[in-house]
Amino acid sequence: MNNSQNVNGLDNKYSKKQNNNFKENENFENMFKKNMFKDLKISERKNEIKIGVIAGGFSSEREVSLSTGRGIFEALVKLGYNTIFIDLKDNIFNSDFLQLLRQINIAFIALHGKFGEDGTIQGMLELLKIPYTGSGVLSSAIAMDKIFSKKIFKFEGIPTPDFIVVTKDYFGLKSLNSGNLSIKKIIELNEKVLNNFGYPVIVKPNKGGSSIGVTILEDSKNLDKLFEAVKTAFKYDDEILIEKYIKGRLLTVSIIGKNPIALPIIEIKPKSGFYDYKSKYTPGYTEYIVPAPIENYMAEEISSIALKCHKVLACNCISRVDLIISSNLSSKENKNNNKNNKKNKNNYNYSYNYNNNYNNNNNRSKSSYDKNYDIGYDINVLEVNTIPGMTPTSLVPKAANACGISFEKLVEIILDGAELKLQ
């Protein structure tokens, strides 16, 4: 199964020459250089503050977090900030960890996963009155909770794939050991999937990232696969979701700044067919196209939805919204739609000047997101990440670089948003 495969009506039929045309995005780059992020207040206090980059942690994403943290630490040192690297190894009440926290004025959170991205460390820093980067306690907790955030998306009229929730209580389990899942319950669960939205589906832990514990199931023919998928997801969480798997083009929108703006959209094309842990963090395993080769009016809609996600979850200064676009037309309609688009060259405008019109758009009707029949595609939000990776293969730095923002500048923009959220 391929999260980034092309579907009817959404084929990327662009030559290498055409792809090169939108690698240099002058309008977007000039917009940032002239109007945004020129006066970062934090830089004026460079000689007065000490920053602690908190990384590592004890979730399944520890190694990714350490890579993120090292990159941020090196950038801050290069910028001239007094910075220390804090490796959170075991628990947040470790005496050495607390002692290091007492030395700093600002915490730059580079933790991923549980106890770092879920509001836990944010709450501790609030109690210690240490300003920190990123989103607050509630926003972090909600974004980390896929089920809760998807319920909010649905309430706000933001499109997201249908899903069902499965808990260990459903199987009558307090803990999961090999063979504890009831076959009868697996059969019932399979029927529930078929009755709600059908296959293919993706099974994943509720709270987690980096595609750890995730399985794609193509059909209902083999219940053993459903059994194994559920068991795998339960290894990482007591609550899992089975989500309708949508075939289409995988996109991501990075959002930065106190007054949030959307960076150029990235299309993600994993060579293995699925954007798993190895595809995310191994150089050369995934192709990233930035800006994504999509029509300007489609980019406007996608960025608008991403910004709305950022705002309804009350994210702060940095987030990344993952989406998928898929066709909602028949093969014949798609064929005609493609012909019409090719005739109209104005449909392909890669200037990405949509931020001025869409960044402050809070009044779009719910129905405008439901179905985009006029251009033959659907947009679905997969999730929001409040502490996106900042590794050499990470997406936010790629998007920032596409519009002239260096890695060091990006780190400083995120740092500038450090604050206590519970005053």
Exactly one of 3, 52, 61, 316 is catalytic; which is it? Answer: 61
Q: Let me know whether 260 and 232 are in one domain.
A: no
| DSSP codes joined into one string, 374-410 | TTTEEEEEEEEESS---STT-HHHHHHHHTT--HHHH
Q: How far apart are CA 151 and CA 145, in angstroms?
A: 10
Does any domain span residue 366? Answer: yes
Task: Give me the phi and psi of 215, to 5 degrees please.
Answer: -135, 140
Q: Let me know whether 276 and 370 are in one domain.
A: yes
Q: How far apart are CA 177 and CA 172, in angstroms?
A: 12
Active site residue 363: no
Structure tokens at 302: 């996608």
Does any domain span residue 223? Answer: yes
Does any domain span residue 215? Answer: yes
Exactly one of 210, 319, 355, 394 is catalytic; which is it? Answer: 210
Active site residue 389: yes
Q: Let me know whether 49 and 128 are in one domain.
A: yes
Does any domain span residue 394? Answer: no
Q: Let me know whether 237 and 253 are in one domain.
A: no
Q: Let me know whether 220 and 274 are in one domain.
A: no
User: Quick one: 219 exposed, middle or buried, by C-beta within 10 A (0-12, 13-18, 19+)?
Assistant: exposed
Does any domain span residue 94? Answer: yes
Q: Let me know whether 211 and 262 are in one domain.
A: no
Q: Let me know whether 262 and 353 are in one domain.
A: yes
Q: How far apart are CA 58 and CA 106, in angstroms?
A: 22
- pLDDT reported for residue 30: 56
Q: Let me know whether 119 and 64 are in one domain.
A: yes
Q: Let me know whether 117 and 172 are in one domain.
A: no
Does any domain span residue 118? Answer: yes
Domain C-terminal end among 205, 226, 244: 244
Exactly one of 56, 149, 320, 412 is catalytic; which is it? Answer: 320
Exactly one of 25, 60, 279, 385 is catalytic; which is it? Answer: 385
Does any domain span residue 73? Answer: yes
Q: Let me know whether 186 and 99 are in one domain.
A: no
Q: Let me know whether 240 and 289 are in one domain.
A: no
Task: Report the first-to-last Cα separation within the chain, whole angstroms.
Answer: 47
Q: Are 265 and 285 in contact (CB under 8 A)?
A: no
| DSSP codes joined into one string, 119-155 | SHHHHHHHHHT--BSS--HHHHHHHH-HHHHHHHHHH
Q: Are 123 and 137 in contact (CB under 8 A)?
A: yes
Does any domain span residue 196? Answer: yes
Structure tokens at 131: 């300003």
Q: Which CATH number belongs to the domain containing residue 111 in this structure?
A: 3.40.50.20
pTM: 0.80
Q: Let me know whether 266 and 357 are in one domain.
A: yes
Active site residue 281: yes
pLDDT of the chain, 423 residues: tens digit per residue: 333 333 223 433 332 333 333 444 555 555 555 557 777 888 888 889 999 999 998 887 888 899 999 999 999 999 999 999 999 987 667 778 888 999 999 999 999 988 889 999 999 999 999 999 999 999 999 999 999 999 999 999 999 999 999 988 888 776 555 446 788 889 999 999 999 999 999 999 998 766 778 899 998 888 889 999 998 898 888 899 999 999 899 999 999 999 999 999 999 998 867 676 677 667 777 899 999 999 898 999 999 999 999 999 999 999 999 999 998 754 444 445 444 444 443 332 222 333 333 333 344 333 344 444 345 689 999 999 999 989 777 899 999 999 999 999 999 999 999 999 887
Exactly one of 383, 412, 416, 417 is catalytic; which is it? Answer: 383
Spatial neighbors of 199 by CB under 8 A, at least 6 apart, are: 193, 217, 218, 219, 220, 245
Q: Which CATH number belongs to the domain containing residue 188 in this structure?
A: 3.30.1490.20
- pLDDT reported for residue 222: 83
Structure tokens at 74: 């090196």
- pLDDT reported for residue 346: 37
Q: Which domain holds residue 307?
A: 16-29+143-147+247-386
Total count of domains within the chain? 3
Active site residue 156: no
User: Quick one: 290 exposed, middle or buried, by C-beta within 10 A (0-12, 13-18, 19+)?
Assistant: buried
Residue keyed to tokens 């940095």 = 318
Domain C-terminal end among 215, 244, 273: 244
What are the residues facing 132 on neighbouring strands?
107, 419
- pLDDT reported for residue 359: 38
Based on its alpha-carbon atoms, the radius of gyration of the chain, rounded to whole angstroms, reads 22
Could you tell me which of 393, 399, 395, 396 has the C-alpha nearest to residue 414?
A: 396
Exactly one of 236, 275, 281, 358 is catalytic; which is it? Answer: 281
Exactly one of 237, 322, 412, 416 is catalytic; which is it? Answer: 322
